[in-house]
């Protein structure tokens, strides 16, 4: 499992910050230009219409995070 330290939110330029209260995307602070793109993709995958419910999508995310031994 890779481990990358989170960047302090105050060290991320204002124009690259996202409304991520759970701090899952804060890992992208090391290359903050990518953070907004990843957040847009995340919102599309988790909240758009599709064959899976929101709960099913969250369950898949939790299962994959556990398999990958994510510390968040």
Residues 3-45: pLDDT tens digits?
Answer: 777 788 888 888 888 887 666 667 777 888 888 888 889 889 9
Domain annotation covers residue 63:
yes
Domain annotation covers residue 1:
no
Residue 16 CB neighbour total at 10 angstroms: 16
Separation CA 66–CA 32 (nearest Å): 25
Alpha helices in the chain (DSSP H): 33-47, 54-67
Domain annotation covers residue 27:
yes
Range of the domain at 46: 9-67
pLDDT digits (tens, 9 = 90+) for 52-64: 999 999 999 999 9
Examine the pLDDT at 46 and tell me if it is beyond 80.
yes
How many domains is the chain built from? 1
**Between 19 and 66, where is the model more confident?**
66
Alpha carbon distances (Å) from 60 to 16, 24, 55: 27, 16, 9
Structure tokens given for 44 = 């599309």
């Amino acid at each position: 499992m890779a481990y990358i330290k989170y960047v302090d939110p105050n060290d991320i330029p204002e124009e690259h910050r996202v409304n991520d209260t759970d701090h899952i995307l804060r890992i992208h602070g090391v290359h903050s230009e990518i953070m907004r793109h990843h957040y847009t993709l995340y919102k599309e995958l988790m909240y758009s219409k599709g064959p899976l419910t929101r709960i099913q999508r969250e369950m898949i995310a939790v299962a994959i995070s556990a398999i990958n031994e994510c510390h968040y």
